[in-house]
Amino acid sequence: MTTPARTRFAPSPTGYLHIGGARTAIFAWLHARHTNGQFILRIEDTDRKRYMPDALDKIIEGLRWLGLDWDEGPDVGGPHAPYTQSERLPMYQEAADWLIEHGHAYRCYCTPDELAEMREKQQANKEKIGYDRRCRWLTPEERAAKEAEGRSWVVRLAVPLEGSVTIDDLIRGPVTFNNAELQDAVLLKADGYPTYHLAVVVDDHDMEITHVIRGEEWISSAPLHVHLYHAFGWNLPVFAHTPSILKPSGKGKISKRALLTPDGSTIPVMLHEFPELGYLPEALFNFLSGIGWSLDDHTEIYDRETAIKHFDLKDINPGPARFPAEKLEWMNGVYIRMLSIDELVERLIPYLSRDLGIPEEALARDERLRIIAPAIQERLKKLTDAAPLIDFLFADEIDIGDPKLLIPRKTTPEQTANILAEIIAALAQVDVWDEATLEETLRGLAAKMGLKAGQVFSPIRQAVTGKKVAPPLFATLVAVGREKTLQRLRNALNRLEQSLQNH
């Protein structure tokens, strides 16, 4: 039996959640659920200079939208509260004091000017840039003198100067670092806030995290964290550093700007932008989980339950994975087509309300939307595609544009006017306004007049929708309704006749 894991996702609200971070959250969530363990949300908000108040709300909303739930966190509580680092400052101070007392850390009194001067000299002498540990060797008397001056201080880790440290990474195997290459990193800043290094170790230990799953950009910090675990005498968690995501071209890591796809379109990179643009959460979950991990060598579409059943951290490819932009809209379309009509209508309503300026309550009561939904479902790649397809349904009048647009190929304006008149007469006699009857009537009319079906259908589509490309014609006519259809056809015929008279 697999031991239940405790994983966590710990975003920093210094900005909005990037899709790379969202994928890491998915992996951590999947591992916890696969092992029947717990998934914890922790907020790392100790970078007060870059803190963005609205970012936290968007991060939590985005994770919830993506379908992730957590067993412990700032909004649900838990036995290891608080789950927001700015509320845990006394714990970090206590940990830093303990490290100093036991010789694993020290106070550094260097001023910003002194540190800048040190770096300038290192550059001039072509030496390695970094803190030279000058405060590590201060005598008790020298420390007392510095403090008597009223100097502020930070706490630095006293990294072992010899030997090496090996990270046994679950995804990429053993990774070894020479201690001589490591810096005496700052653990506690002068304002009393911890740096990432101290806070993450204290919190992961306190919250009993068994698996630290994070992006590979943190692997260079891992040896410092191992040294801290050893200093405290704590058991190490399992480390798993996920691979980077590359641009769609495969050249370079994705940045914080929108991605340019091979076809020239753009895709956002911040999680909160995806729902705004009409992506489905289950599609994005499937898509992101498949970047660097796969269910097998052929399955593209799978639900959360299937992913949970088969997920294994060891199956994540350690190499960087390309962002397959060409797959995202296709996958989103697949998920849209999997929705029932009731689900599709429910999901479309917020977007139609926003884009067409119609209250959601009115759309929910409007039977026309339910009628047209099956006709457009196959055509949608994103939920935002619906509004420009069906806006004609909710218009009081249709602007057909240039009357010439009513004229089918190989048909004169006069012939088109006659066709429209015959269409109006035929449709006015229809008893049952449904797709089958309308199709039978209009195809019969085309045969009677010796015309191709397109010569009859084309002017109807332009007159009723104002578009050359619209949803399937007969479903459109049913949704528009008898009275509006006939009214729009008459208006189009009048426009065409006026144009003929003017010429």
Q: What is the pLDDT of residues 208-262, one digit of tens each?
A: 999 999 999 999 999 999 999 999 999 999 999 999 999 988 888 988 888 877 6
How confident is the model at residue 260, as a pLDDT? 74
Average pLDDT, the chain: 95
Measured in whole angstroms, the distance separating CA 461 from the mean position of its chain's CA atoms is 38
Q: Can you tell me the mean pLDDT for 290-311?
A: 96
Of 66-80, 256-270, 283-297, the least confident: 256-270
Please return the burial class of 26, using the count of CB atoms within 10 Å of its CB with bins 0-12, 13-18 and 19+: buried
Tell me which of 71-85, 116-130, 261-275, 309-323 is least confident: 261-275
Short-list 285, 313, 314, CA closest to 301: 285
Mean pLDDT of 466-486: 96
Judged against a pLDDT cut of 70, whether residue 155 lies above it is answered with yes
Report the pLDDT averaged over residues 333-358.
98
| Separation of alpha carbons 402 and 75, rounded Å | 57
Residues 261 and 293: their CA atoms lie apart, in Å, by 22
448 part of the active site: no
326 band by pLDDT with thresholds 50, 70 and 90 = confident
Give pLDDT, residue 322: 92
Q: State how far the Cα of 228 lies from the Cα of 92, in Å rounded to an integer.
A: 13
Contacts (Cβ under 8 Å, ≥6 apart) of 213: 7, 24, 27, 28, 31, 240, 242, 313
Average pLDDT over residues 22-29: 98
What are residue 74's DSSP bridge partners?
none
Residue 381 identity:
K
Catalytic residue from among 121, 253, 256, 309: 256
Count of beta carbons in the 10 Å neighbourhood of residue 408: 18
- Reported as a single tens digit per residue, the pLDDT across 367-401 is 999 999 999 999 999 999 999 999 999 999 998 88
DSSP letters spanning 356-417:
HT--HHHHHH-HHHHHHHHHHGGG-SSGGGHHHHHGGGG-SS----SGGGGPPTT--HHHHH
- Range with lowest mean pLDDT among 61-65, 85-89, 125-129: 125-129
Cα–Cα separations (whole angstroms), residue 362 to 165, 339, 349: 64, 22, 10
How far is Cα 259 from Cα 287, in angstroms, rounded to an integer? 15
Q: Average of pLDDT values for 252-274?
A: 85
Q: What is the pLDDT of residue 1?
A: 57
CA dihedral 424, 428, 434, 436 (to 10 degrees): -70
With beta carbons less than 8 A apart as the criterion, state whether 277 and 267 touch: no
pLDDT digits (tens, 9 = 90+) for 99-150: 999 999 999 999 999 999 999 999 999 999 999 999 999 999 999 999 999 9
What does the pLDDT look like over 410-424, one tens digit per residue? 899 999 999 999 999
Residue-level pLDDT at 2? 77
Predicted local confidence at residue 256, as pLDDT: 83
